[in-house]
């Protein structure tokens, strides 16, 4: 019987450098995890939105279009497209925007020759569940119906970060169950997502590490109360709300990524394990010492993750 390990010896050797990189980056960027104290719910939401706006750098090449009545940002490759990458941004279902990921999405479009369609889905608390996933499914339906003529390819991958990874899983399940078209999706790129809105141990602060994370239990509670108001935790774990509790059979290959310091660590471990048990082809990449939004910390571990993610996506397009 072999030893159960979440990362290789090569990654293990990079942990000290990763820890130092996070501490240095945290100090230089003055990162704080908890919502400001003494603010109302709406004031906390406004603060989260302002924080996200400060790290948004739109690129002029992105086109603003409507697909199925939903605002999207489209970034095209330099040449012919091999696939459409349906992308959902992060922000806890209460903040963020499609333009927030313009730079990495442009890099992805050029590197892999994909058209990136990033969705400006509706946010809570103004638009609680299921408004966001409804928007995602509407765009997916339109892409599946007309992507070949609009973008020169009928192939589709779906992916996102944080709340965007949740959107990816939730939309994919509805593509399977409502559109009966999951066979048209070549892969799901799921980066540190939330898949259990009832509250995993790590969401509640019970993590394998007490080191820095840009998330906090307080922020997770804020998100949950805005997105799913008036529900008990048991009700929030309904399969149509929390993908970790859904029947995951028949999903396309998944690339699941998360850091060990992330308050959403358990969500990814649970989703990946349940998907694999259901017969889904799962690649799980766990980054020791890394927090939520680990891409902001340039070190050996995050570079290894970027290479693995790129190779996984290239393999889906091969």
Domains plus CATH for the chain? 9-317 (3.40.50.1820)
Tokens describing residue 150: 């609009």
> Residues 191-214: pLDDT tens digits?
999 999 999 999 999 999 999 999
Edge-first strand order for the sheet with 282-287 is 63-67, 70-75, 114-119, 83-88, 156-161, 185-191, 254-259, 282-287
Span 92-118, average pLDDT: 97
What's the predicted TM-score (pTM) here?
Answer: 0.97
**pLDDT higher than threshold 90 for residue 227:** yes
226 to 79, 93, 94, 150, 252: CA distances (angstroms): 42, 8, 7, 36, 30
The confidence band for 3, taking pLDDT boundaries of 50, 70 and 90, is confident
> Residues 260-284: pLDDT tens digits?
999 999 999 999 999 999 999 999 9
Rg (C-alpha) for the chain, rounded Å, is 18
């Amino acid at each position: 019987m072999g030893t159960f390990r979440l990362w290789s010896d090569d990654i293990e050797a990079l942990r000290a450098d990763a820890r130092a990189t996070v501490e240095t980056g945290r100090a230089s960027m003055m990162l704080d995890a908890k919502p400001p104290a003494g603010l109302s719910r709406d004031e906390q939401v406004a603060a989260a939105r302002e924080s996200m706006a400060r790290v948004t750098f739109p690129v002029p090449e992105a086109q603003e279009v409507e697909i199925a009545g939903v605002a999207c940002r489209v970034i095209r490759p330099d040449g012919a497209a091999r696939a459409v990458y349906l992308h959902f941004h992060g922000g806890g279902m209460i903040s963020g925007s499609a333009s927030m990921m313009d730079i990495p999405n442009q890099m992805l479009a050029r590197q892999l020759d994909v058209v990136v369609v990033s969705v400006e889905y509706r946010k809570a608390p103004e638009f609680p569940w299921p408004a966001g996933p409804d928007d995602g499914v509407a765009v997916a339906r339109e892409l599946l119906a007309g992507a070949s003529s609009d973008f020169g390819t009928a192939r589709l991958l779906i992916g996102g970060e944080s709340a965007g990874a949740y959107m990816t899983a939730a939309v994919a399940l509805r593509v399977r169950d409502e559109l009966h078209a999951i066979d048209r999706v070549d892969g799901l790129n799921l980066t540190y997502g939330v898949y259990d809105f009832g509250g995993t141990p790590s969401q509640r602060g019970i993590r394998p590490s007490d080191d820095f994370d840009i998330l906090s239990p307080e922020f997770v509670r804020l998100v949950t109360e805005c997105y799913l108001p008036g529900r008990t935790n048991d009700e929030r774990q309904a399969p149509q709300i929390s993908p970790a509790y859904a029947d995951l059979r028949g999903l396309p290959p998944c690339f699941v990524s998360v850091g060990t310091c992330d308050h959403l660590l358990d969500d990814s471990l649970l989703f990946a394990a349940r998907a694999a048990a259901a017969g889904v082809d799962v690649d799980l990449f766990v980054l020791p010492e890394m927090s939520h939004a680990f891409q902001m910390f340039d070190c050996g571990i995050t570079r290894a993750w970027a290479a693995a993610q790129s190779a996984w996506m290239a393999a889906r397009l091969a």
